[in-house]
Structure 1
Amino acid sequence: MHIHILGICGTFMGGVAALAREAGHRVTGCDAGVYPPMSDQLRALGIDLIEGYGVDQIDLKPDLFVIGNVVSRGNPLMEAILDAGLPYTSGPQWLSENVLQGRHVLAVAGTHGKTTTTSMLTWILEFAGKQPGFLVGGVPQNFGVSARLGDIAADTRPASGHPFVIEADEYDTAFFDKRSKFVHYRPRTAILNNLEFDHADIFADLAAIETQFHHLVRTVPGTGRLVANAREESLDRVLARGCWSDVARFGVRGDTPGFRARGEPHSFDVLKAGVLVGRVEWALQGEHNQMNALAAIAAAEHVGVTPQQACEALGQFANVKRRMEVKGEVKGITVYDDFAHHPTAIRTTVDGLRRKLAPGTRILAVFEPRSNTMKLGTMKALLPWSLEEADLAFCHSGGLGWDANEALVEMGDRVIVADTIDSLVAKVVKHAKPGDQILCMSNGGFGGVHDKLLKALA
């Protein structure tokens, strides 16, 4: 089958493309913006990419168009597809019907940490010899790709099918299907990692997102498992609406049933109902990663991996590209790249870096409010809080509909705002000193700011 994917360079749709290619389909695709690592991965797979959404792509005559949620009405190619009455579907629907049937699906949901936790869980299952399939919204460095089918040669009954781990996003499916992506996946194991307000462009409030999470809970069978963060009142409300599966909680206190950590985030014991079941020694920092690890351990247990074996696996976990990834060092100044974009994620990322640095080391936080929620200014009041641990903050204000200087005024002379990437780079270089840690945070390509900084600092 020939499928043509609209919006192919998004992390999710790029993963769908990789899976379709591995399954033997002919895959082509188009997008308006192309940037690594997804573009590199697609080209390496031999997938032809077309820039833009020209109506002439109808002439490719694919058997099916798969539509990403970046595509909306008014898109010229989509309008041509509709006018011609050609077959189309969404990425999550295609995945559900062509990849996930008969698999033991492990879905990782949450406002933060989905990509990292999905990667941890996938690596644990790989380490344990489960040969899982996976689709991650990033590139796990233990694998070097964002998606693969895994071992599919087995009994295809759902209860015994081979595992498939998927990052389960609550964002909507497509312009013609406004349900959250994750309702298509029908997981047998589901991680509910955390739940805060986000995606202000499609959700009116936190209660609306909680409703979508409960739709996910409704799809987990009675023999399934929900792995839930014990510290989130929002998740308590979700489960109080109705729960039909076993619940394994993590982040519990004391000897409460569930999983908890004892020790620092980089070196900690794992306890289940107060009993020591393993120890994690790794290079990752931050309490958020410690919590991600507990979630992954609890989920892996549901497919027969012992907590001790999971802890051993995490000791060899190499994280994900664009998660505190070191891009280079010049004159004693280190430049990092990170995907953080929600205020809570920004705060935990900066705090995680702070914890591993020697006292007195400066952190220069360089960020762009790029997500739809941040562009709308819904969470602008939280930015000073999110940047508390940074010595200096540099905000790229280009394209915002609100005044970044006004939103960040309480930070005083610790914040600098620039409306272009080049001026942002110039301001950072002016203030940087040997020994500084420059932490760049964005959920997009950030205009190549990392390479521009390294070049300007040299």
Structure 2
Amino acid sequence: MNLKTVHNVYFIGVGGIGMSAIARYFAVNGKQVFGYDKTPSPITKKLEEIGVKIHFEDAVKNIDISCLDKKQTLVVYTPAIPSEHQELNYFINSGFEILKRAEILGEITKNTFCLGVAGTHGKTTTSSILGHIMQPEKATSFLGGIAENYNSNLILGEDKISVVEADEFDRSFLKLSPNIACVTSMDADHLDIYGENEMLQQSFREFANKVSDTLIVAKGLPLKGLTYAVDDVADYRAYNVKVETGKYVFDVQTPTSEIKNIEFHLPGKHNMMNALAALAMADVYGVSLESIKEQLRTFKGVQRRFSYKIKNESIVLIDDYAHHPTEINAVEHSVREMYPKEKVLAVFQPHLYTRTKDFVEDFSTALSKFDEVLLLDIYPARELPIKGITAAWLLDKINSVNKALVSKENLEREILKSESKIIVMLGAGDIGLLVDEVKNSLEKKYNI
């Protein structure tokens, strides 16, 4: 495919976090961009502000067919779109060029020097840190979250270097051709796609084999490459870790050098590991350690990754995308590190019936560590209900006397009744849309 001959790009599922970054990329590079999504959102609003034409009803009548020449039009869709989608089937039956999101990302980046970040956890934060480090190098970064420094999931640079989040879902990352890559984690996930954990592990091995230059892996993973670790022997080692006025300060030993007193503001050892992975990738590429140090110091974080919505002496509200037991454990550890003496309320929306079924015991163990738990119903996303797999079933397994199932309509009221000083709202569904309402209610209650 020659992307230079493409004049129009039509996105089905344009509001997705990965899709919208690519849509924004094409729009700012002079293509006419159109799209469908199920519902309006802050992401679709921002796309519309730069000229992307979006509608929210799946109907062929909404496609501006007069503007879409088959020879100059590319259709991009997300795997989350159902097979019976009317617009997708129209384009298939009409003979348009159609690619999945991963395929077009592979096309965009195949002629660049590509740095790919893979892993079942940590890839969005790691790729955002790396994108910030590589910004002075004029890299273009496609992110799976909104980087606070840029208020965007696209860091626009030139076309020689790319940073991409290499997503294992639907084996998407096998469409990429990374020169340098890292793997942050390989925990069991997406078993609705892979069937069993061994198939997921195999896909990571296949991804590792696609790396043309250097693979970097968290120490302990069953892959061959340069390793990184905190307070452990590895090719890239963070040590002398201190917490000073709400930030980490640490030193790093690389295979050939050493850098002292790196400052990093995101809490939790898992985020220090993410920073170390990004440092290692940038160092292998050839960015100076002093430049890396400065970019780590100024990195502000990623929206919905331990994002403080309220940080007050009376109340703290944290928003996080955590939707897997390992991620919930990481949030809990970070909260306890920052607020060791305070009571913590976790509000969790389970994501997918299959994930809830596959990891129910791990979810119950992770959530039992909080002082209070409020559970919303399972967010189905692309799935149909599974008999017996409910939020109530999960709630029953949580070992806590302070737990309850709550509706979205009653969530604010239940949170306002809590005596916990720290509130964390967790999940990958639409719980993120409720955070600002909770924030406003808490600010009124505490006169903030």
Q: Would you call these one fold, judging by a TM-score over 0.5? A: yes
Q: Distance in 2 between matches of 1:184 and 1:53?
A: 28
The verdict on how the C-alpha distance between 1:274 and 1:73 changes in structure 2, with shifts beyond 3 A counting, is same
The letter for the 1-side match of 2:35 is: G
1:231 matched to 2:220: yes
Deviation (angstroms), 1:410 = 4.1
Structure 1 residues 60-99: aligned runs within 5 Å: 60=65, 61-62=67-68, 63-97=73-107, 99=108
Q: 8 Å contact 1:298–1:307 — kept in the other structure?
A: no
Partner of 2:114: 105
Which whole-Å CA distance do the structure 2 matches of 1:140 and 1:447 have between them?
16
Alpha carbons of structure 1 residues 43 and 170: separation in structure 2 relative to 1, 3 Å: same
Of 397-406 and 23-32, deviating more is 397-406
Match of 2:137? 130
SS at match of 1:322: coil
Q: Does 1:191 align with 2:169?
A: no
Partner of 1:144: 151
In the alignment, does 2:387 pair up with 1:381?
Answer: no
Distance in 1 (alpha carbons) for counterparts of 2:215 and 2:10: 35
Separation in 2, partners of 1:66, 1:403 = 34
1:53 aligned residue (49, 58, 67): 58
What TM-score, normalized by structure 1, do the two folds share?
0.86
**Offset from partner CA, 1:345-401 (integer Å, 9 cap, x none):** 0110121122111x42121111100246435x2111111322244211111025564
Tell me the equivalent position of 1:349. Answer: 331
Alignment match of 2:16 (pick from 10, 19, 43): 10
TM-score normalized with structure 2 length: 0.87
Work out whether 1:170 is the aligned partner of 2:168: yes
Residue range with higher mean Cα deviation, 10-19 or 310-319: 310-319
Q: 1:201-212 to 2 correspondence within 5 Å?
A: 201-212=192-203
More off after superposition, 130-139 vs 391-400: 391-400
Distance 1:148 1:253, change over 3 A: closer
Q: 1:368 to 1:59 in 2, by over 3 A?
A: same
Compared with structure 1, are the counterparts of its residues 190 and 135 closer, same or farther at alpha carbon in structure 2 (3 Å cutoff)? same
The match for 1:220 among 206, 211, 224 is 211
1:256 deviates by 4.5
Contact residue 41 and residue 145 of structure 1 kept, 8 A: no
Contact persistence 2:321–2:427 (CA under 8 A): yes
Which residue does 1:413 correspond to in 2? Answer: 401
Instruction: Give a deviation string over 1:83-107, Cα, whole Å, max 9, x none.
Output: 323332222222322x213211000
Q: Distance in 2 between matches of 1:373 and 1:140?
A: 29
Q: How many residues align?
A: 420
Calculate the aligned-residue CA RMSD, in Å.
2.3
Measured in 1, the distance between the counterparts of 2:193 and 2:439 equals 37
1:396 corresponds to = 376
CA contact (8 A) 2:110 2:177 kept: no
Summarize deviations over 1:169-219 as a string: whole Å, max 9, x none: 0111xxxxxxx1111220000011111111122111221111111221221
> Is the 2:318–2:424 Cα contact (8 Å) retained in structure 1?
yes
User: Aligned equivalents of 1:417 and 1:455: distance in 2?
Assistant: 22
Corresponding position of 1:155: none
Contact 1:30 1:50 in 2 (8 A): yes
Q: By how many angstroms is 1:148 displaced?
A: 4.1
- Structure 1 window deviating more from structure 2 (251-260 vs 75-84): it is 251-260
**Equivalent AA in structure 1 for residue 96 of structure 2:** L
Hey, what's the Cα distance between the residues in 1 that align with 2:216 and 2:352? 27
Consecutive unaligned residues of structure 1, counting only runs of 5 or more, are 153-161, 173-179, 240-246
| 2:448 is the alignment partner of 1:443 | no
Q: 2:287 matched to 1:287?
A: no
Asked whether the equivalents of residues 199 and 372 of structure 1 are also in contact (C-alpha less than 8 Å), the reply is no
Name the CA shift for 1:406/1:148 in 2 (closer, same or farther; >3 Å). Answer: closer
* In structure 2, distance between residues paired with 1:397 and 1:438: 18
Percent identity between the aligned chains? 26
| SS across alignment from 1:281 | strand
Q: Which amino acid aligns with 1:171?
A: F
CA distance in 2, matches of 1:282, 1:195: 25
- 1:366 matches 2:347: yes
Work out whether residues 373 and 404 of structure 2, in 8 Å CA contact, stay in contact via their aligned partners in 1. yes
Q: Give yes or no for the alignment of 1:32 onto 2:35.
A: no
The whole-number CA distance in structure 2 between the counterparts of 1:225 and 1:92 is 22
Change (3 A) 1:396 1:306: same
| Counterpart position of 2:4 | none
Paired AA for residue 429 in structure 2: G
Cα drift, residue 294 of structure 1: 1.0
Question: Relative to structure 2, which stretch is displaced further, 6-15 or 359-368?
Answer: 359-368
Distance 1:92 1:72 in 2: 17
- Work out the CA distance in 2 between the residues paired with 1:207 and 1:45: 43
Runs (5+) with no aligned partner, structure 2? 1-6, 380-384
Work out whether residues 263 and 269 of structure 1, in 8 Å CA contact, stay in contact via their aligned partners in 2: yes
Pair 1:260-2:238 in alignment: yes
Q: What secondary structure sits across from 1:268 in the alignment?
A: strand
What displacement does 1:454 show? 3.0
Query: Deviation of residue 425 (structure 1)?
Result: 2.6
Closer, same or farther: CA 330–251 of 1 in aligned 2, 3 Å: closer
Determine if contact 1:341/1:442 at 8 Å carries over to the other structure: yes
Shift of 1:447: 6.6
| Cα-to-partner distance string for 1:209-252 (whole Å, 9 max, x where unaligned) | 1111122122112xx110111133xxx1x44xxxxxxx221017
